Amino acid sequence: MNSLGINKPKKDIKVVVAMSGGVDSSVVAALMQREGYNVTGITLKLYDDSKQSKEGRQCCAGQDIMDAKRVAEKININHEILYYQKKFKTEVIDSFIDSYAAGETPIPCVQCNQTVKFRDLFKYAKNLRADALVTGHYVSRFQINGQASMYRAKDHNRDQSYFLFSTTQDQLNYLRFPLGEIEKNETRLIAKKLNLNVAEKPDSQDICFVPNGDYSSVIKKFRPESFKKGKIIDLNGNQIGEHQGIINYTIGQRKGIKISSENPLYVININAEENTVIVGKKENLEIKKIQLRDLNILSPKNEFEKTVNVKVRSTGRLLKSKIYFRNETTAEVEILEKETGISPGQACVFYSKDEVGDKVLGGGWIHKTFNNNLST
Contacts for 263-267: CB closer than 8 Å, 24+ residues apart: 266/341
How far apart are the C-alpha atoms of 177 and 27, rounded to whole Å? 12
Query: Which residues, 6 or more positions from 50, have their beta carbon under 8 angstroms from its beta carbon?
Result: none
Query: What is the tens place of the pLDDT at every residue in 179-193?
Result: 999 999 999 999 999
How far apart are the C-alpha atoms of 336 and 84, rounded to whole Å? 42
How far apart are the C-alpha atoms of 320 and 228, rounded to whole Å? 40
pLDDT band for 134, please (50, 70, 90 cuts).
very high
Pairing of strands 132-134, 14-18: parallel
CATH number at residue 261: 2.30.30.280
113 and 243 share one domain: no
pLDDT band for 130, please (50, 70, 90 cuts).
very high
Task: Provide the pLDDT for residue 208.
Answer: 78
Respond yes or no: is residue 59 known to be catalytic: no
CATH number at residue 109: 3.40.50.620
28 and 99 share one domain: yes
Residue 373: pLDDT above 90?
no
Mean pLDDT calculated for residue range 5-33: 97
233 and 92 share one domain: no
Task: Provide the pLDDT for residue 50.
Answer: 53
Closest CA to 182 of 160, 154, 162: 154
32 and 109 share one domain: yes
251 and 106 share one domain: no
Residue 3 is assigned to a structural domain of this protein? no
Task: Provide the pLDDT for residue 221.
Answer: 84
Backbone φ and ψ for 89, nearest 5 degrees, come out as -60, -45
pLDDT band for 59, please (50, 70, 90 cuts).
low
Residue 61: pLDDT above 70?
no
Task: Output the CA–CA distances (angstroms, integers) from residue 111 to 11, 165, 289, 359, in the order listed.
Answer: 34, 10, 24, 21
Task: Provide the pLDDT for residue 60.
Answer: 58
Residue 167 is assigned to a structural domain of this protein? no
279 and 289 share one domain: no
How far apart are the C-alpha atoms of 169 and 167, rounded to whole Å? 7
Residue 224: pLDDT above 90?
no
Residue 53: pLDDT above 50?
no
Task: Provide the pLDDT for residue 55.
Answer: 45
Domain count, the chain: 3
278 and 292 share one domain: no
196 and 234 share one domain: no
Residue 104: domain span: 10-136+178-212
Residue 143 is assigned to a structural domain of this protein? no
Residue 56: pLDDT above 60?
no
Residue 95 is assigned to a structural domain of this protein? yes
Identity of residue 199: A
Pairing of strands 132-134, 175-176: parallel
Task: Provide the pLDDT for residue 84.
Answer: 93
Percent of the chain with pLDDT over 90: 77
90 and 202 share one domain: yes
158, 188, 212 - which closes a domain:
212
Cβ 299 vs Cβ 287: under 8 Å: no
59, 109, 112, 348: the catalytic one is: 112
Backbone φ and ψ for 191, nearest 5 degrees, come out as -60, -40
241 and 318 share one domain: no
How far apart are the C-alpha atoms of 312 and 319, rounded to whole Å? 8
Backbone φ and ψ for 155, nearest 5 degrees, come out as -85, 95
How far apart are the C-alpha atoms of 130 and 133, rounded to whole Å? 7
Residue 329 is assigned to a structural domain of this protein? yes
Query: What is the tens place of the pLDDT at every residue in 278-313?
Result: 999 999 999 999 999 999 999 998 999 889 999 999
59, 60, 109, 208: the catalytic one is: 208
Mean pLDDT calculated for residue range 107-112: 90
pLDDT band for 371, please (50, 70, 90 cuts).
confident
Q: Kindly write down the DSSP assignment for every residue of 218-248, as one continuous string.
A: HHHHH-GGGG--EEEE-TTS-EEEEES-GGG
| Angle between helices 215-222 and 94-101 in degrees, nearest 10 | 100
Mean pLDDT calculated for residue range 263-291: 94
Query: Which residues, 6 or more positions from 338, have their beta carbon under 8 angstroms from its beta carbon?
Result: 286
pLDDT band for 207, please (50, 70, 90 cuts).
confident
Residue 104 is assigned to a structural domain of this protein? yes
Respond yes or no: is residue 208 known to be catalytic: yes
Residues 354, 359, 361, 363: is their CA dihedral positive or negative? Answer: positive
Task: Provide the pLDDT for residue 91.
Answer: 92
Task: Provide the pLDDT for residue 87.
Answer: 92
Residue 267 is assigned to a structural domain of this protein? yes
Residue 206: pLDDT above 90?
no
Residue 340 is assigned to a structural domain of this protein? yes
CATH number at residue 310: 2.40.30.10
**pLDDT higher at 309 or 227:** 309
81 and 194 share one domain: yes
Burial class (CB in 10 A: 0-12, 13-18, 19+), 325: middle
78 and 66 share one domain: yes
